[in-house]
Structure 1
Amino acid sequence: VKWGEDNTVQPNLAEKWTIDPAGTLYTFKLRPNVKFSNGRTLNAEDVKFSLERACDPKFASPTAGTYLTDIIGVRERLAGTAKEISGIKVVDPTTVTIQIDKTRPYFLGKLTYACAYVVAKEAVGTAGATMTKPEQMIGTGPFIFDTIDSNRLVTLKAFKEYHEGAPKVDRIERPVVLDAVTRLNMYKQGQVDLIPLERQDVKAIQADDKLKGDLKFFDRPSTWYVGLNCNLLPALKDRRVRRALAMAVDRKTIVDGILGGQNVIATSIVPPGVPGHRENVAGVPYDVAGAKALLAQAGYPGGKGLPEIELSYRDGRPDVELVAQALQQQWKEALGVNLTLQ
């Protein structure tokens, strides 16, 4: 399955599926004559193999344990106590069933993630091996890996037998450019056709007669949040500490002052456009006095005794760094909490 443009799950390799009355048994009927990029026809055994490969403990997928553990038998496969995933059954060459542990309305959405992609068994190599060469990267998508220089450039060519029709673009070159300024300069010089634009560059582009017509805005179904690892810092296991930190974040200042008002304040984890989003959620209020009181109740008045918190953030995105720096300042000024950034 895949995400559609309307942000709903749509058929892809499976042309249709049914769910039993209990909501736990999914039966997928594969499209006929879907081709891998090596010319072989996809079958149900490929689906089973690919999911079991992603859950092979030798492969050590960083995402399979998050996205696939609803499937019965995945935990055992990840732990190395089972060679197969018991909840995945091949019924016939074009039919596969997946049994999950309980009713989960969001399960199909999880199957859109990369750890559920179907690959050709004969191409990937030995068990647990990571695909590093184009000849190993045999899938069913609209493009085929052509060349890979992981630190510089990835090129792809059109797969003419793609099941939804041959792509309209014959070739894609994807430069690996981590620095936002360099990306923008490459666009200005005509070296690339498309870039994500940093917020701080928007006004300059809007004032540029040559470039302003190229600027397109899209709502992005994503949320910026701070994840607190309670296992690394036991103090965070106290709900009062976590809530105090949340209450000390001035989201309005971050969105309007630091980010120029181009973002929307998040009051819940599910963003607009994603099923489950709720409008008019109050969320955790910005309340410095209340945050101080909670932190003191937890045994850390003025932040005293609370270990330093280390915040890791995504490199190469200036706005992410600005938000991290704002959190560092707000928590220090409001609560006396020390935050180090990396």
Structure 2
Amino acid sequence: MALVLAWPLQAAGPAGNVLRIGNGAEPQTLDPHKTETVDGSRIVRDLCEGLTNVSPTGQTVPGAAERWQISPDGLEYIFFLRPQARWSNGDPVVAEDFVAGLRRAADPKTGSSYAQMLEPLLNGPEVVTGKKPPEALGVEAVDDHTLLLRLRGPTPYLLGMLSHTTTFPIHRPSFARHGDQFARPGHMVCNGAYMLDQWVVQSHVRLKRNRYYWNNANTHIDTVVFYSTEDVNSELKAYRAGDLDWATGYPAVLTPWIRQNLKGELKMGPYLGISYFGYNVTRPPFKDNLKLRQALSLAIDRDVIVDKVLYTLSIPAYGWIPPGTEGVVPQTPPEAKWTQAQRLALARKLYAEAGYSQDNPAEVEIRYNTSENNKRMAVVVAAMWKQWLGVKSTLANEEWKVFLNTRKLKKKTEVFRSAWIGDYNDATTFLDIMHSTHGQNDTGWGNPRYDALLAMAAAETDAGRRRAMLEEAERILLSELPYIPLTFYVSKNLVKPWVKQWQDNILDYHYSRDMRIEGY
């Protein structure tokens, strides 16, 4: 850490009309229907645009659609596309582009981890599971600039959901020519404020301004460069040296120093996100072993993690849905109000009832993706388990893409590091991923009642009854505990003073088109 703080500072100032971003892990893909990480989605939102956008303050605003109409029963949405909207090659953006994009995202052949997000559309569940063809999805191009969405039931969060990458259109001629390689440099035709200029693997992704973008007159930054920075120490070094204008990560241990020395550059705010450890409940030691899962969760002192490991950059989590999420009152178990001594007493009791002791300790592997902050969390949790229960833990780290694949296969994982960031402000963005068939559910857990409650809530027109269903679903999740809640996030970014028009919001969405570089 001393080397980071000793890194020489360069003369302050921007590198021209360019926004340079430390973006975390190398993106898996820039395919809007396949990207599933915060880092990759941050790039895709600059390249592509959905029917709606998220404003700098986090509100849902018109995007490629300039306006919409909703039927009295809430089952039909008519979107009117902007006549001036263009793809980056000058082709007009038309309703059929959205039809093609939505059908592709829902098609199980695409392999989108977010396909279930489209289940509110008419025939959505049947299309997502392959029981009906993509053409049966409730989406229709009325004419070039009018798009009709038909729903299975009222969906109060639909407009917010339509800013998610899964709902983005595709440039049909490019897709016909290049297939699944359409999102590569030289192939990708975009409808957002920027276009893909260069992708150097394990180095950077560079975007250039899309002069055909409908709101190009109000876009200020010409070039955006997203640097792959899995090492948060290196990212902070680059930021302090003046090589980055915006750092999305830094070592948590340096938070006190950053607060003192970079106070005006540290941007923090409420954030819809949870950090957790997932249990693989498809294999020992956690299969059919609720008491062991409960014991390990209770033995973790979240206050120590927040205060000493994360330096108050998070909030202790005992539930699943973060505070501030719309549509429910987040549920919490009774132990959330206990002292840590009370939690430890129950943890030891459950650990013994699960068949373990100091003489016969549980042996557990914690697997995480390579990151200094993730390593610190794993080390601290392993130490707590050892101290309070006698658990023998081993740590395993993997590069991001390998790690994601290992999680999905469920062959080696026991406990794995994970996090979830809300895609829109509604409880379903968190509850849906624990559905038994969801592409992001790497725990292998499933509960028929839980799945049924989500289905009923999706069709419920009464807000009170819908809320009760979702709250019951969270209680089921907490009672069966296929995961260990650790902390609820706050957003944290380092932003140089010459980056103007930055605003914090609960989704932590920051489009490059909404910012500008001082002097340009």
1:271 lines up with 2:322 in the alignment? yes
Report what 1:201 is aligned to.
254
1:4 lines up with 2:55 in the alignment? yes
Give, in whole Å, the separation in 2 of the partners of 1:97 and 1:240.
49
Shift in Å at residue 8 of structure 1? Answer: 3.4
Q: Is the 8 A contact 1:17 1:29 kept in 2?
A: yes
Shift in Å at residue 24 of structure 1? Answer: 3.8
Shift in Å at residue 249 of structure 1? Answer: 2.0
Report what 1:249 is aligned to.
300
1:322 lines up with 2:364 in the alignment? no
Give, in whole Å, the separation in 2 of the partners of 1:93 and 1:305.
68
Q: Which amino acid aligns with 1:290?
A: L
Give, in whole Å, the separation in 2 of the partners of 1:88 and 1:73.
10
Mean Cα deviation higher: 152-161 or 225-234: 225-234
Q: Which amino acid aligns with 1:181?
A: N
SS at match of 1:7: coil
Shift in Å at residue 86 of structure 1? Answer: 2.5
SS at match of 1:294: helix
1:41-97: CA deviations, max 9, x gaps?
1111111101112233343223324x2233333444444452424322222222223
1:111-137: CA deviations, max 9, x gaps?
332221122111234585143423332
Give, in whole Å, the separation in 1 of the partners of 2:179 and 2:136.
15
Give, in whole Å, the separation in 2 of the partners of 1:169 and 1:300.
61
Report what 1:302 is aligned to.
357
1:46 lines up with 2:97 in the alignment? yes
Report what 1:214 is aligned to.
265
Q: Which amino acid aligns with 1:13?
A: A
The alignment yields a C-alpha RMSD, in angstroms, of 3.1
Structure 2: runs of 5 or more not aligned: 1-51, 397-520
Report what 2:498 is aligned to.
none
Give, in whole Å, the separation in 2 of the partners of 1:241 and 1:280.
22
Report what 2:171 is aligned to.
120
1:145 lines up with 2:200 in the alignment? no
Report what 1:291 is aligned to.
347
Q: 1:71 aligns with which of 106, 118, 121?
A: 121
Give, in whole Å, the separation in 1 of the partners of 2:309 and 2:201.
33
Q: Is the 8 A contact 1:56 1:128 kept in 2?
A: no
More helix by share: 2
Distance 1:16 1:246, change over 3 A: farther
Over the matched positions of the two proteins, sequence identity in percent amounts to 28
Distance 1:290 1:207, change over 3 A: closer
Shift in Å at residue 156 of structure 1? Answer: 0.8
SS at match of 1:50: helix
Report what 1:175 is aligned to.
227
1:226 lines up with 2:277 in the alignment? yes
Structure 1: runs of 5 or more not aligned: none
Q: TM-score, normalised by structure 1?
A: 0.84
Q: Which amino acid aligns with 2:256?
A: K
Q: Which amino acid aligns with 1:333?
A: Q
Q: Is the 8 A contact 1:311 1:339 kept in 2?
A: yes
More strand by share: 2
Q: Which amino acid aligns with 1:294?
A: L
Q: Is the 8 A contact 2:88 2:195 kept in 1?
A: yes
- The count of corresponding residues between Structure 1 and Structure 2 is 337
1:187-225: CA deviations, max 9, x gaps?
2322222213332223334554xx554343344332212
Q: Which has the higher contact order (CA 8 A, sep 6+)?
A: 2
Report what 1:260 is aligned to.
311
Shift in Å at residue 170 of structure 1? Answer: 0.9
Q: Is the 8 A contact 2:68 2:77 kept in 1?
A: yes
Give, in whole Å, the separation in 2 of the partners of 1:214 and 1:30.
38
Shift in Å at residue 145 of structure 1? Answer: 0.9
Q: 2:240 aligns with which of 177, 184, 188?
A: 188
